[in-house]
Structure 1
Amino acid sequence: MLSSLFMSLVGRETLVAPDDTWSLLMVMCVAVAISIYLEQKYMWASKISGAIIALLFALVLSNLSIIPTACTLYDDIIWGFAVPMGIPLLMLQCNMKKIWKETGRIMIIFCIGSAGTVAGAFLAYALLHNFIPGLAGVAAIMTGSYIGGGVNFAALATEFNVGEIKAAATVADNLLMALYFFALIFIAGMKFFQKHYAHPHIDAVKVSDLKDAQTQAAAYWNRKEISLKDIAMNVAYCVVVVFLAKLIASGISAVIPTTNTLLSILNTFFGSQYVWITTIAMFAATVGEKQVENLSGSQEIGTYFIYLFLFVIGVPASIVKIITETPLLLVFTGIMVLTNMLFCFVFGKLLHFDLEDIILASNANIGGPTTAAGMAISQGWTKLVGPVMLIGTFGYVIGTYLGVVVGGLLGA
């Protein structure tokens, strides 16, 4: 009975068609608006965070077949415009002269987490390779994805042809990423972890002035003066940054050949628009700190773009598809994520890392630079946005290489 119910749900068309862009945009914007309202209105919602609420909205709506799991709005508009434009706006607070000494160590814990991902791939393969066909290739693909991101997933999926299981692996990847995002948010607020790890950024948010606000989120996002000129300058700035980043990335990518592994790595890194968006934005924030201080609204506009992105992140996670098709893939990816988490938290404790560094480094491994930046923003850890974007982008470089190594060692 339960199986037939699942199959009927899988076969259903969505209530909102994939090409009905305005209806989908309405659903997404309303869900994000409700998430932000709840976060700033109620203490329980503030503790969960508006980011998690937006993700939950997307999970529920997609798994009830109300909205599609893929469409032009998600891929071309949110991924193509909102995310690249949001990043430079948010990074205007990232003056590297002020924050580098405080956050430079985060690269170390990121590399430890990457080692955890590789170890998790071998462990999960050893436990499950007799039950899932083509698992060596999947292990390679997921290694790249859980060190870098979607770029590495796509590259390794081309390198290791795993057939139909690729679609199920994509769903498991998105679902685990969303669930782990929830888990990390809860860990940040748990007394156990705050007792055993230093947490200066969490403390800084807690001492915010709450006299006229109902929640920390409302205090952090209190009403600010903003003019039409501010909006115009913000939009112009982020568009110019993205334009220059894409121009530089495409130019360098065309110059650097991919004839060997080293050159391929250099091409991947310097040919990434996100490397140059991050670099240009951090340079502007550091050199033009006086101009940044006189510009209002950049954090608000950038954060709104990231909330739209976080909604889209939760959409492809089809729980029904995992249950009906390849539930063991969820177990496989779960082992990899858990091993990454253990490496980050155990070694983070031994090496005296801050809780926020550990959480964001692990997030950057599993979800990539944009999800890690989104978490930092949603929690008010603004000083960590720039560094976590850099280490997440570095994951794009090493993810494909380590994925190829894992696939080769497992005989994919």
Structure 2
Amino acid sequence: MPIITATLAYLLIPALLIIVCQKFQLLDKIGVVVLSFGLGIALSASLDLPAFFAKDELLAMQINLTEIAIALALPLLVFSLDVKHSLSMAGDTMKSMVVALLTVMIISAAGALIFRDDLQNIWQIAGMSVGAYTGGGPNMAAIKTAIDADQDIFITMATYDILLSALYLMFVMTLAKPLFGLFLRPFKSTGIPLDSEHDKKFAHLADETANSYKVLVNFKTLPQTIQSLIFSGLVVGLAVTVSSLFPKSMSSAVTIISITSLGLAASFIPYIRQLATSFQLGMYLILVFCFTMGTMTDTSIVTNLNVDLFAYIGFILLGSLLVHALICKLMKIDTDTFLITSSAAIMSVPFIPVIAGALKNRELILPGFAAAIIGYVIGNYLGVVVAYSVRYLLGQ
């Protein structure tokens, strides 16, 4: 009974956070995702949770909840994406995004060779880093499951990622444009109307506030929410069935790749793509995932900094940014396009309007969304490829 109560608390506390953020704008600006993870860490630091519940039962519940939440969230986040439309928005934005993705892969692999004597299971770290910086946190979590990565490494990486990504965001919003503008050409408007029908394709991604979750408690959209969850469950069930046909050593990777591929395939079905609440439901499950992971965090990873891991993640962020900029110089890609695609890879979809606003260039919001979507869709594949490639190269 106590473990059931704990499970319900883990499922509902993110909802309370959403309500609080809807009432306090300052907290909403911080972001529900960051607050969910932060609250989990705070509870882990201030309360001895195993003292309230059987330690083994609590840990089993936490692991099961995180795995189920991320598995169901992946297809839900993909269902509403119009991938075909995103691919049609080509030009310099997509060229720059391809460079950004390749750069993250190359720098992550190069970093693994540099840090191989300093970090255990560096191949796992490299794979999860590629997921984080080509698609976002959900991709990193998915790759963690796919390659059976060490739980402690993942939690530490997630914590350091929040800290370093915040520094990256501040840099991009302040100093980056004048700095990179010294050697990259300025942006030239394409003259495409800002109020075009393209806006509708990305409207559900543009609202990163707590108010976006109100649709989940709207009685009119409740049937669509239920249907979204059912379709997601079917995707996960089918993926697990497919993975059972492979050797056990490959089952986790096959499951995640299958979930991603089947969810992507389902997004091409108009009825599923037009379900109004699938993206927000997926994001809510990400909140549950973040809060649960936070409560599993050993707070000593912040006070006793793992310098090598922190340096490796910093190496990827700084290295990929600089190499990406150099290649953009060679390809004659402008400053704003470079920064929006770098942010699309490293910070993911919800931050595109924020970055575009800081650049004072609303014209790049839609291409930025399109680029971020492509990164999110293929991030799982790229992360798994890099993880096993590095493992092979290092003979681990």
TM-score bin, normalised by smaller chain = 0.5 to 0.7
Q: 1:318 aligns with which of 298, 308, 329?
A: 298
Where does the alignment leave 5 or more consecutive residues of structure 1 unmatched?
Answer: 1-18, 130-134, 159-165, 209-214, 259-266, 364-371
Please tell me whether the aligned partners of residues 268 and 396 of structure 1 are also in contact (alpha carbons under 8 angstroms): no
Following TM superposition, by how much is the alpha carbon of 1:217 offset from its aligned partner in structure 2, in angstroms?
1.6
Aligned to 1:240: 234
Tell me how far 1:39 sits from its aligned partner.
Answer: 3.3
Aligned CA distance change for structure 1 residues 115 and 387 (closer, same or farther; 3 Å): closer
RMSD of aligned alpha carbons:
4.3
Q: Do 1:59 and 1:317's aligned partners in 2 also have CA atoms closer than 8 Å? A: yes
- 2:386 aligns with 398
Equivalent in the alignment of 1:367: none
Identity percentage of aligned residues: 15
The match for 1:108 is 99
For residue 332 of structure 1, the aligned residue among 308, 325, 345 is: 308
**2:270 matches 1:289:** yes
Q: Which residue of 2 aligns with 1:143?
A: 126
- The equivalent of 1:86 in structure 2 is 73
Do the aligned partners of residues 48 and 278 (structure 1) sit closer, same or farther apart at CA in structure 2, a change above 3 Å counting? same
| 2:284 alignment partner AA | Y
**Structure 1 position 395, deviation (Å):** 0.9
Instruction: Call closer, same or farther: CA 1:116–1:217 in 2, change over 3 Å.
Output: same
> Structure 1 length normalisation: TM-score?
0.65
Relative to the length of structure 2, the TM-score reads 0.68
Provide the rounded CA distance (Å) in 2 between the counterparts of 1:168 and 1:71: 13
Shift in CA distance, 377/33, structure 1 to aligned 2, threshold 3 Å: farther
Could you report, residue by residue, the CA deviation over 1:192-233 in whole angstroms, capped at 9, with x for unpaired residues? 4477698x9xx99xx99xxxxxx9625645555634532332
The code of the aligned residue for 1:305 comes to L
**Within-5 A mapping of 1:257-406:** 272-286=254-268, 288-290=269-271, 292-293=273-274, 295-320=275-300, 323=303, 327=305, 330-350=306-326, 351=328, 352=333, 353-362=337-346, 383=370, 384-385=372-373, 387-405=375-393
Cα distance in 2 for residues equivalent to 1:38 and 1:404: 47
Counterpart selection for 1:62 from 4, 28, 44: 44
* 1:45 shift after superposition: 2.1
* SS class of match (2:297): coil
Q: Aligned partners of 1:150 and 1:299: how far apart in 2?
A: 17
Q: What displacement does 1:97 show?
A: 1.3
Aligned partner (choices 144, 147, 159) of residue 175 of structure 1 = 159
Identify unmatched segments of 5+ residues in structure 2: 132-139, 182-186, 201-206, 356-364
C-alpha deviations, 1:79-119, integer Å up to 9, x for none?
A: 1x222112222212212210124475544322311222233
Aligned to 1:42: 24
**Which residue number in structure 2 is paired with residue 10 of structure 1?**
none
Letter aligned with residue 378 of structure 2: L
For 2:146 and 2:39, the matched residues in 1 are separated by 30
* Structure 2 letter corresponding to 1:237: F
Structure-to-structure mapping, 1:246-261, within 5 angstroms: 246-251=240-245, 253-254=246-247
